[in-house]
Homo-oligomer: A and B are copies of this chain.
Amino acid sequence: MSRAKNFARLPGFRDFPPEELVLRSHLFDAWRRVSRRYGFLEYDGPPLEELDLYTQKSGEEIVGQLYNFTDKGGREVSLRPEMTPSLARILGERSRAMPKPIRWFSIPQLFRYERQQRGRLREHFQWNVDLVGGPGVEADAEVLAVALDSLRALGLSSDDIRARISDRRLLSALLRECGVPSDSLDATYPVVDKVERESEERIRERLSGEVGLPPEVVDRVITLFQAPSLAAVADAFAHREEVAGPLAEVQEFIQILDDLGLAGFVEFDLTIVRGLAYYTGIVFEVFDRQGEHRAICGGGRYDSLLELVGGEPLPAVGFGMGDVVLSDLLIERGLAPEYRRQVDYFLVVIGEEQAGLARRLATSLRRSGHSALYGIRGQSVRKQFSAAANEGARQVIVLGPDEVSRGKAVLRDMVSGDEEEVTLQSLMGRDGAGEE
């Protein structure tokens, strides 16, 4: 062993001491509880995968953002930057034998080598929910409902958050109706994605310069995004055959979310574009209404991915919801759980002669499902009470020679301060949450 050295955690990584883990556990519990209400089953995959699994989906450009390396067996590997490729790989091996739809969720830790900024670390936990093998729009609605219901379960209402929804097929049909040629669509998406953040002048410049659209087409696209409500779009374009199909689907999607009690959260927003090569239908992002944070959640329909990594061609819809932005929002709104140390019983001994009894009582309490602690050998009674307070003991059992000789102990409620004498027998038989 070499000499002492001070170590720090890597930049962009987090430690979770107990007082910080409590919020993470609170999120995970809500995510798991709501997933199960919607019939989703939990799975997990390895945090390390072949590098190709990620470049296959996202192209070589992604490598610059990965924690990738060559392992000792010469394999090119990467820490997972996202879960969907692992999901696709796992389902690729087994989905043919499984009844559809497949409803799976997971809570992986993900890794990206990114420049650090608020709400963006180099690792985060992300709840992934996917419904695979359900082609209809009710699958999309169920998946978004899981996301929104988890946020409701965490205390956020439709006053706090909103889901902005769109549809890739509808957007492309509308752009084509405006006169954008099919082979200019891919160049148009990133520009309209910025409609809310850039000036109209800049958008016009980009549409004519970068995309090369003629002035009358630019005018029509600008007009489209000036009144981007679903009603306005329906009024202007519902008679157009190419638009009618995806438009009806978005309308039905919103109707189903209304049945699911979530219409108040949902807003149609044509500017939601998301990943170009990946999504094939409805897309959505969930934001805080005040617009102070990055997206809480993003997802949509991706019908081509499973086939791409060697699986059965299967329609799929899913989302990812990270822990970082959501945690910030819950703290800001006073919705994070209070951290409180808590133990059911703390056994205080007056003399060392009661130490064995204290341990036997602790054992009995623990086996009936309670948490129980006892003091360190040789501690004064005062120190033992102070330890009990530190541990957040709800009740203290005081074992003194007189009481014990009569088969008794003193039980003190640490909240009320009330004391009562109880039999040792009754302490041995306390009912708890335990199964043993």
Task: Using CB atoms and an 8 Å cutoff, list the residues of chain A in contact with chain B.
Answer: 1-2, 4-11, 13-18, 21, 24-25, 36-39, 41-50, 52-53, 55-57, 59, 64, 67, 69-73, 75, 77, 79, 85-86, 89-90, 92, 94, 99, 101, 104, 109, 111, 113, 123, 134, 136, 138-139, 149, 152-153, 255-256, 259-261, 277, 307-310, 341, 343, 356, 359-360, 362-363, 366-367, 369-373, 376-378, 387, 390-391, 434-436
How many copies make up the complex? 2
**Bound form: Cα–Cα A70–B391 in Å:** 42
Question: For A18, what are the chain B residues with a Cβ–Cβ distance below 8 Å?
Answer: 41-43, 104
Question: For A45, what are the chain B residues with a Cβ–Cβ distance below 8 Å?
Answer: 9, 15-16
**Bound form: Cα–Cα A256–B360 in Å:** 9
Could you write out 15 A-B pairs with CB less than 8 Å apart? A1-B277, A5-B52, A7-B89, A7-B310, A10-B71, A13-B48, A15-B86, A17-B43, A21-B42, A24-B44, A37-B369, A48-B67, A134-B376, A259-B363, A260-B363
- Are A359 and B259 in contact (CB-based, < 8 A)? yes
Question: For A90, what are the chain B residues with a Cβ–Cβ distance below 8 Å?
Answer: 15, 17
- Are B371 and A46 in contact (CB-based, < 8 A)? no
- Are B47 and A47 in contact (CB-based, < 8 A)? yes
What 9 pairs between A and B have smallest CB-CB spacing? A69-B69, A6-B310, A259-B359, A18-B41, A13-B46, A16-B44, A37-B366, A39-B373, A99-B390
Question: For A139, what are the chain B residues with a Cβ–Cβ distance below 8 Å?
Answer: 376
**Bound form: Cα–Cα A320–B24 in Å:** 23
